Amino acid sequence: MEAEFIIVGAGSAGCAMAYRLATAGRKVMVIEHGGSDAGPFIQMPAALSYPMNMKTYDWGFQSEPEPHLNNRRLATPRGKVIGGSSSINGMVYVRGHAMDYDHWEEQGADGWGYADVLPYFKRMESWHDGGHGGDPDWRGTDGPLHVSRGPRENPLFEAFVEAGKQAGYEATDDYNGEKQEGFGPMEQTVWKGRRWSAANAYLRPAQKTGNVELVRALAQRVVIEDGRAVGVEVLRGGKTEVLRASGEVIIAASSINSPKLLMLSGIGPAAHLAEHGIEVIADRPGVGQNLQDHLELYIQMAASQPITLYKHWNIFSKAVIGAQWLFTKTGMGASNQFESAAFIRSKAGIKYPDIQYHFLPIAVRYDGQAAAEGHGFQAHVGPMRSTSRGSVTLASGNPADAPKIFFNYMSQDKDWEEFRTCIRLTREIFAQDAFKPFVKHEIQPGADVQSDEELDAFIREHAESAYHPCGTCRMGRADDPQAVVDPQGRVIGVEGLRVADSSIFPRITNGNLNAPSIMVGEKISDHVLGLDPLAAANDVPWIHPDWETAQR
């Protein structure tokens, strides 16, 4: 079997690339190990806690025991399904802050400053503000990816934004527009009541061109001949075969599986490859290093009124919501329930937000366990730019084995300081007048948890991943020994091979990673096609005028 381009992974970036290459008339083969994304568990936005916890749709990765978090192994879900993690994620849409991308450029990712990436964010989206204001000039109107806002009917969504303002913070109508900093509505990749994954947005239209072949198989290694990638060895139906690419092989298999596949193919830290009996084709010490993620806590409050989503937390109500959604694609099932958000700075002297909030009008965990107190609500909060770094390494030379994932969470003193600040600032927000009618008491951490030591113990036991792993095939200049790919996504030291997904991020962005991952696929597809990049934007983002001296 042969195509011009082989893309490994039908996830956020891979689907976007397949669409751009196919609509340009190129023949593309997409290799995906996972199966169909059909069915209500994936397509119904409110059911998001199900696919994330289903072996059918998830690779089932876990971290190594994390020494700074009581040696807990943290779940590391990655989508093993058409659409990749965009089919199992929380559907939250955040571009990231302008300064994130300017930092990428400073780190050697030339051509990836905010002025360069903003046009791609515009190209990829069709934005629907639902009549709630926002920054139309900063947004896209006719891209494949529909971005909408929840109805925000629950009074708690408004209370959260109002409390933020009462605490002295900015408000923002559109954190994906000119002004990220502040409290305001949250955006979701939901369209007409359905999860608008990369599969729905990009892959299905790409398949309609007749230029895309989807192959269900496990990619085992990239086949490299005379220093050039010429195909991919896959396991399909119990048989090993080689799929050949006349043009290029593009790895878009996630920040966990992309470095694994490079290492299995002989590209990575030479000594580590030798340990596993793998012939070294390119000694790239950066492969699998620079692993980053966001950690978060849920600060949970018991509600004094029965207005939270807990009233639907029973089999009858779930059945009614499910039926309404199945037949009409409306109602409670049509939102991910993350409808208010905030980005704030933790202290004076920090130029742009380093804390993110997701607000949810129920006290519940990602695994679907509701709080024992019943009616409640919660804010997910965590620092955005931890300096802790981990790694993805091979457990063995066998492609069937999961890699070793070690985040090294909370390994810097600053991480602890930032997390304690997150908890204290959140308590202050929940203590504002806007929440007075709704707050009964604090469930978690609990009002008696106050000292630094008590807060640290709570963090060690309860911090969870926000599921934003990235950085393991870092983009940089070709002469940077730690860089894995150049600014066009080309693997340094091998011809005809690129990586395009969240693994190439030099540093994690402010917020959820789905939007930047899709943007990477969009931008690198132009490099693959040899097109000139879109013209740089000259929009100037809002920075707090008193950032040097004030926290808010």
Residue 121 located in a structural domain: no
Could you tell me which residues come within 8 angstroms of residue 39 by beta carbon, excluding any fewer than 6 positions away? none
Q: Note whether 52 and 98 are same-domain residues.
A: yes
Structure tokens at 165: 């303002």
Q: How confident is the model at residue 443 (pLDDT cuts 50, 70, 90)?
A: very high
Confidence (pLDDT) at 365: 76
pTM: 0.98
Residue 123 located in a structural domain: no
Q: Note whether 313 and 435 are same-domain residues.
A: yes
Q: Note whether 167 and 249 are same-domain residues.
A: no
Could you tell me which residues come within 8 angstroms of residue 264 by beta carbon, excluding any fewer than 6 positions away? 220, 221, 278, 394, 397, 399
Confidence (pLDDT) at 477: 98
Find the mean pLDDT for residues 165-186: 98
248 forms beta bridges with 5
Q: Mean pLDDT across the chain, nearest whole number?
A: 96
Q: Decide which of 462, 489, 524 is a domain's last residue.
A: 462
Residue 369 pLDDT > 90: no
Name the percent of the chain lying above pLDDT 70. Answer: 100
Confidence (pLDDT) at 371: 77
Residue 545 located in a structural domain: no
Residue written as token pair 């696929």: 521
Q: pLDDT tens for residues 334-367? A: 999 999 999 999 999 999 999 999 999 999 876 7
Range of the domain at 71: 1-113+194-290+471-534
- Strands 239-251 and 2-8 turn out to be parallel
Q: How confident is the model at residue 76 (pLDDT cuts 50, 70, 90)?
A: very high
Residue 313 pLDDT > 90: no
Give the number of domains in the chain.
2
Other Cβ atoms closer than 10 A to 448: 8
Q: Under a CB-based contact definition with an 8 Å cutoff, are residues 331 and 321 in contact?
A: yes
Could you tell me which residues come within 8 angstroms of residue 327 by beta carbon, excluding any fewer than 6 positions away? none
Structure tokens at 283: 């000694």
Cα dist from 256 to 94, 288, 507, whole Å: 21, 8, 15
Q: pLDDT tens for residues 132-174? A: 789 999 999 999 999 999 999 999 999 999 999 999 999 999 9
Find the mean pLDDT for residues 188-203: 98
The one-letter amino acid at 72: R
Q: pLDDT tens for residues 94-145? A: 999 999 999 999 999 999 999 999 999 999 999 998 777 899 999 999 999 9
CATH number for the domain spanning 257: value is 3.50.50.60
Q: Note whether 53 and 13 are same-domain residues.
A: yes
Find the mean pLDDT for residues 480-500: 98
The one-letter amino acid at 404: K
Residue 141 located in a structural domain: no
Residue 391 located in a structural domain: no
Residue 127 located in a structural domain: no
Structure tokens at 84: 């990749």
Q: Note whether 376 and 437 are same-domain residues.
A: yes
Is 272 noted as a catalytic residue in this protein? no
Structure tokens at 365: 């965990």
Three-state secondary structure readout of 174-199: CCCCCCCCEEEECEECEECCEECCHH
Find the mean pLDDT for residues 367-372: 74
Structure tokens at 261: 């596949």
Residue 27 pLDDT > 80: yes
Find the mean pLDDT for residues 402-430: 98
Q: Note whether 108 and 242 are same-domain residues.
A: yes
Find the mean pLDDT for residues 454-476: 98
Q: Note whether 432 and 342 are same-domain residues.
A: yes
Q: Note whether 64 and 175 are same-domain residues.
A: no
Q: Note whether 305 and 426 are same-domain residues.
A: yes
37-46, 81-90, 407-416, 466-475, range with the lowest pLDDT: 37-46
Find the mean pLDDT for residues 261-265: 98
Q: Note whether 201 and 324 are same-domain residues.
A: no
Q: Note whether 5 and 26 are same-domain residues.
A: yes
Residue 323 located in a structural domain: yes
Residue 89 among known ligand-binding residues:
yes
Residue 405 located in a structural domain: no
The one-letter amino acid at 101: Y
Q: Note whether 330 and 434 are same-domain residues.
A: yes
CATH number for the domain spanning 313: value is 3.30.410.40
Residue written as token pair 């009616």: 375
Confidence (pLDDT) at 372: 73
Catalytic residue among 312, 468, 527, 544: 468
Cα 281–287–291 angle (5° rounding)? 170
Confidence (pLDDT) at 453: 98
Residue 90 among known ligand-binding residues:
yes
